[in-house]
Structure 1
Amino acid sequence: MSKKSENTGFQCERCGASVLPLTNGSFRNHCPYCLYSKHLDENPGDRSSLCHGLMEPIELTYHTKKGYQIVHRCCSCYKVQKNVVATNTVQEDNFFLLLTK
């Protein structure tokens, strides 16, 4: 799959928001409004998961090289994955939601 086809917009399955592709050179993999994701990968970027469950944002962490990351847990199979917070782009992530939990 080409990078252009991976960085596409989508409609959030949780809140229904229309989500635009990122404009900062990265890939969009979660809703910037409710922060939910979809379980598509077994390993980052492979799109090989058969689960396809919604992934709930459960925590915010900080990595010295990657910056802030949202920790997601699949609501179906409970797999946990980290995703970098989208900043400096159209529709920046509202990660403050995780600070109020």
Structure 2
Amino acid sequence: MRLNPLLLVAISACIAAPLSAQGSSSQEMPEQKFLDQVEAPGHVLITARGADAVNAEARRKGLKFPAVGYWSPDNVCFSNPPKGDCNGLFTR
């Protein structure tokens, strides 16, 4: 069976597009972009020490993954060990 090359390109695009739209879950959002999302309907703000603690609290509360985004004033969300408070936005 021989597959049409255009069909393969179309399938690849369908798979890759949703992944690129989700953003990176291992880097922080720009401050203003994050703050603009805080008041959006259905968004829940979680603050904890480091992204892992933020994610654990979000799971405990039954929030949806992946996170909308993460942000901290000192860019410490993904430092290891955690060096300060990290804010994460999730949807219900």
**What TM-score, normalized by structure 1, do the two folds share?**
0.27
Higher helix share: 2
User: In terms of Rg, which structure is larger?
Assistant: 2
Greater relative contact order (CA < 8 Å, ≥ 6 in sequence): 2
